[in-house]
Amino acid sequence: MPAKLPSARAGLEGLTGDFPLPGQKDPVALDNAQPAADLAAADRVTGLDKLELGGASDKGSLGKRIWRSAWPKLLAVAIVLIAWQAVVWAEWKPSYVLPDPLTVFKDLGSVITTGDFWGGVRVTMVRAVTGFALAVLIGTVIGAAVSRFAPLRAAIGSLITGLQTMPSIMWFPLAILLFQISESAILFVVVIGAAPSVANGLISGIDYVPRTWLRVGQVLGMTGFAKYRYLILPASLPSFISGLKQGWAFSWRSLMAGELLVIVPGALSIGVRMQQARDLNESSLVICFIIVVLVIGILIDVLFNAADNALRKRWGLTGN
Amino acid sequence: MSVVTLEQVSKQYGAGGNALLALDKVSLSVDKGEFVCLLGASGCGKSTLLSLVAGLDQVSGGTLDIGGRHVSLMFQEAALFPWLSVAGNVELPMRLNGVARAERQQRAEELLGIVRLKGFGSKRPHELSGGMRQRVALARALAQNADILLMDEPFGALDAMTRDILHDELERIWREQNLTVLFVTHNVREAVRLGDRVILLSSRPGRVIEDFAVTHERPRRIDSPEVAGQAAEITDRLRAEVARHAS
């Protein structure tokens, strides 16, 4: 920064010509010549702004930045693979029960090139997206209602948090009794698992809108709908997004539990294929599907994080 | 012509034994185009008074008349909305009033020019310095087309150099835009530097102690002997008032 000071100064000198420099304003000149004083004042303001903003920081090239964020992840994967291989070499379990990484990845390679596999992924993803969308809709409506009406909050505010901590697998016996072995049973559990997180995200977002912003809203005369449209909803967005992210994690877990427990005839989802592999004692294939589920989970998490980071960057909530 | 008139205004928070009297029979008036500074130590109800004038709160006794005029209020924090660009923040009051897009964009550009931030409209608030943000807040307040501008220690969180420069800016904008300003501060020199009048309030409860006229020629400087001299006189009164609370 100090190196930038002289050049900023020099720029101002060029602009002001005969007028006093910033910090050296001459009171006589100020009193006598109004336009000159005004120009000098303009320069002082612009000069100060330039000094305070400083220079742009160098973040390095795109390649470097990708490498910087990628290598710890690659290292972690490598450590897991080495540990796995070590356990296999130690012959803790026979290789048809615990195959080595190379065999699994070869199987994975042949599995993901079949149409059947992608059909299964499609069935699972359609369920996940439908369930999550429904959970977002219901969670948002409940969250908005709870934060709007005090008696409702007293009535079900803590119930929502309670539901959030409930293991979703507990709902399956009831879901099966209510909906039999059907898509609806799975959907029910996915929604009930994810909606409380979405609702809670919205509620805490609305609760923690900074007081100063609310005061500005009052000063600007915001009431009713306008207050929600222009202040409360945008202000609660970061918390709502983390609610969505958590909601997704819950719905994904509930869905996987559901696909293993509620096997709907004809729908060969990832869970069903995994169950079949277990029935046939195909360890390698079971591990393949674990990897697939993990990868899908990570990819979606990356999407949510990207949204979260973009928002943080826009709002200036990152670092400095 | 008086645009703000307070007569025997009291404000009490709570009731019964825990009641807190924030303002006690405060009477004052502000003329059109006047720059009035309210000065006092902690607990003098300066901010309460502004909230009442802004209509954010109701008086407990007495009458407050602003003749149906519009007021705008600025705080110590710029409190810009981070989800809007700088221009978006300035446009917001007009958007709420249903001003057409093209017109409000043009007006926002104009207002940013007035606070010398032309070309910063597409920036985000966090990309600006504290002083710049406070000027955006001023532009937003001006966008409300209010007759009366209330300022609650608007430069309190800024460094001395920035504050000094913003005093010049506020004085210029007040003059150019024919504003009426009611400015709250606890900084005596700042009050004398800016005000046509400095009204000194007592603490707990807030009462008007004295109304000082400041007649030094503008533009003033905060470090000029005239400003310093009168500030010293007012500071003495303020000290005496603070000492009164020792017993």
Residues A170 and A104 grouped into a single domain: yes
Residues A159 and A13 grouped into a single domain: no
Domain boundary among B145, B168, B201: B145
Residues A234 and A308 grouped into a single domain: yes
Residues A144 and A208 grouped into a single domain: yes
Q: B83–A44: do the CB atoms touch at under 8 Å?
A: no
Domain boundary among B95, B119, B145: B145
Residues B182 and B236 grouped into a single domain: yes
Q: A235–B129: do the CB atoms touch at under 8 Å?
A: no
Residues B113 and B175 grouped into a single domain: no
Residues A109 and A32 grouped into a single domain: no
3-state secondary structure of B149: strand
- Distance of CA B223 to CAs A317, B196, B237, Å? 38, 17, 20
Chain B CB contacts of A41 under 8 Å are: 165, 168-169, 172
Question: What is the number of structural domains in chain B?
Answer: 2
CB atoms within 10 A of CB B107: 18
SS3 content of chain B, % helix, strand, coil (to 5): 40, 25, 35
Which residues, listed in sequence order, are joined to residue B29 by a DSSP beta bridge? B5
pLDDT digit string, tens, across residues A78-107:
999 999 999 999 988 888 889 999 999 999
- Torsion angle of C-alpha atoms A177, A179, A183, A187, degrees rounded to 10: -90
Residues A18 and A126 grouped into a single domain: no
Which residues constitute the domain of residue A47? 2-53
Residues B139 and B104 grouped into a single domain: yes
Are A193 and A250 contacting, i.e. CB atoms less than 8 angstroms apart? Answer: yes
Residues B10 and B27 grouped into a single domain: yes
The C-alpha angle A50, A55, A61, rounded to 5 degrees, equals 155
- Looking up tokens 């990868």, which residue turns up? A295
Chain A CB contacts of B116 under 8 Å are: 42, 45-46
Chain B CB contacts of A237 under 8 Å are: 83
Among B116, B129, B217, select the one facing A53 at the smallest CB separation: B129
Are B204 and B43 contacting, i.e. CB atoms less than 8 angstroms apart? Answer: yes
CB atoms within 10 A of CB B55: 15
pLDDT band with cut points at 50, 70 and 90 for residue A195? very high
Quick one: tokens of A107? 């199987």
Residue B47 lies in a domain: yes
Residue A89 lies in a domain: no
Question: What is the number of structural domains in chain A?
Answer: 2
Q: Say if residue A255's pLDDT is above 80.
A: yes
Residues B188 and B228 grouped into a single domain: yes
Q: B208-213 and B71-74: which strand pairing? A: unpaired
pTM exceeds cut of 0.90:
no
Rounded to the nearest angstrom, the minimum Cα separation between A198 and chain B is 21
Q: Does A231 touch chain B (CB under 8 A)?
A: yes
Domain boundary among B119, B145, B171: B145
Which residues constitute the domain of residue B41? 2-69+147-244
Residues B234 and B161 grouped into a single domain: yes
Q: Does A135 touch chain B (CB under 8 A)?
A: no
Residues B33 and B124 grouped into a single domain: no
The one-letter amino acid at B149: L
Cα–Cα dist B93/B106, whole Å: 14
Residues B139 and B154 grouped into a single domain: no
Residues A125 and A261 grouped into a single domain: yes
Residue A305 lies in a domain: yes
Residues B65 and B106 grouped into a single domain: no
Residues B87 and B164 grouped into a single domain: no
Is B52 buried (19+), middle (13-18) or exposed (0-12) by CB count in 10 A? buried
Mean pLDDT computed over A155-169: 86
Q: Which residue of A has its CA nearest to B144?
A: A220
Q: Which residue of B has its CA nearest to A25?
A: B221
Task: Find the CATH number of the domain harbouring A267.
Answer: 1.10.3720.10
Q: Is the bond leading into B205 cis (omega within 30 degrees of zero)?
A: yes
Residue B74 lies in a domain: no
Residue B138 lies in a domain: yes
- What sign does the dihedral B85-B91-B93-B99 (CA atoms) show? negative
Chain A CB contacts of B54 under 8 Å are: 219
- pLDDT less than 50: residues of chain B: none
Q: Report H helices in A54-114.
A: 62-89, 101-111
Residues A273 and A209 grouped into a single domain: yes
Q: In what order do the strands lie in the sheet with B71-74?
A: B71-74, B148-152, B180-185, B35-39, B197-201, B208-213
Q: Say if residue A27's pLDDT is above 60.
A: no
pLDDT band with cut points at 50, 70 and 90 for residue A23? very low
Residues B141 and B156 grouped into a single domain: no
Residues A112 and A172 grouped into a single domain: yes
Residue B172 lies in a domain: yes
Is A89 buried (19+), middle (13-18) or exposed (0-12) by CB count in 10 A? exposed
Q: Say if residue A17's pLDDT is above 60.
A: no
Residues A17 and A134 grouped into a single domain: no
Q: Say if residue A59's pLDDT is above 90.
A: no
pLDDT digit string, tens, across residues A197-244:
999 999 999 999 999 899 999 999 898 889 999 999 999 999 999 999
Are B85 and B120 contacting, i.e. CB atoms less than 8 angstroms apart? Answer: no
Chain B CB contacts of A34 under 8 Å are: none
Residues A155 and A16 grouped into a single domain: no
The C-alpha angle A108, A114, A117, rounded to 5 degrees, equals 75
Residues B157 and B240 grouped into a single domain: yes
Among B75, B96, B126, select the one facing A316 at the smallest CB separation: B126
Look at residue A10 in the predicted model and tell me its pLDDT. Answer: 38
